[in-house]
Amino acid sequence: MGTNAVLLAEHEAVSREYLERQLRDDGFTVFEAAWTSRALDLVERLSPDVVIAGEADLCRRLRAGEPGRTWNRNVPVIVLTEPGAEPIVRVRALESGADDVVPRDVYLELLARVRALLRRSLLGQAEIVDAGPLVVDHRARQVRVGEVAVRLSGREFELAAKLASDPMRVFTKTELLRDVWGIRSAGIRTRTVDSHASRLRRKLEAAGAREVVINDWGVGYRLLA
């Protein structure tokens, strides 16, 4: 599959047809699915560059994987929400593993988010950061422990890159929510940071890194002790 291939998994027919038409007009190759089972088949067979999901459940299933299935669990995913959805809906979508969340009725914002994800996936930043046992390659959007490449979701990579930017510094949860997830509402209670940090730590430890992604209780996280 070439670049700019988008899987549009949207069960609402009117919305799906509108978004498909607009995305095609803007130069994307679009594959559509009305149901989650069809979407999972297509993401496994076609390996799209971006998935636009009409519901968070598809994102959860993509990230978790399923026995016998071989799709890319780190594929960038944008979850669509209803117009005027409460902030908690956005938070829950992010907790499901979404890279971004966009109202389904604001096409120009969706277009900008899709292009941003493609830029980050295909170009990244032209730099490599060494942080203790980790190497963070922004161009390849990859984290390595020694010679071992660690498979991370988009948000897990962003979290690792943020922590590696100043590995001894404690980043507060408010900072991480703002800079990694784009959530600026300090009053929202969520365990998004904790759950992602826990998964990131387990993956890095499985690759051979020890004492990384340190929880400074009541404050936030640092990469190294």
How is 153-180 classified by DSSP, letter by letter? -HHHHHHHHHHHTSTTSPEEHHHHHHHH
Determine the pLDDT at residue 125: 44
CB 8 within 8 A of CB 52: yes
pLDDT at residue 42 above 70? yes
- Res. 126 pLDDT band, cuts 50 70 90: very low
In this structure, the answer to whether residues 83 and 107 fall within a common structural domain is yes
* Boundary residue ending a domain (99, 122, 145): 122
* Boundary residue ending a domain (122, 139, 172): 122
In this structure, the answer to whether residues 13 and 89 fall within a common structural domain is yes
In this structure, the answer to whether residues 43 and 144 fall within a common structural domain is no
Determine the pLDDT at residue 121: 65
Determine the pLDDT at residue 148: 92
* Boundary residue ending a domain (69, 87, 122): 122
DSSP assignment letter at 117: H
pLDDT at residue 188 above 80? no
- Angle, to 10 degrees, between the axis of helix 13-25 and the axis of helix 107-122? 60
pLDDT at residue 22 above 90? yes
Smallest CA-to-CA distance from 44 within 24, 73, 23 is with: 73
Residue 54 belongs to domain spanning: 5-122
In this structure, the answer to whether residues 103 and 140 fall within a common structural domain is no
CB 40 within 8 A of CB 60: no
Q: What is the mean pLDDT of residues 201-214?
A: 94
Encoded tokens for 151? 């498979």
In this structure, the answer to whether residues 133 and 50 fall within a common structural domain is no
- Res. 71 pLDDT band, cuts 50 70 90: confident
In this structure, the answer to whether residues 134 and 179 fall within a common structural domain is yes
- Residue 156 sits in a domain whose CATH number is 1.10.10.10
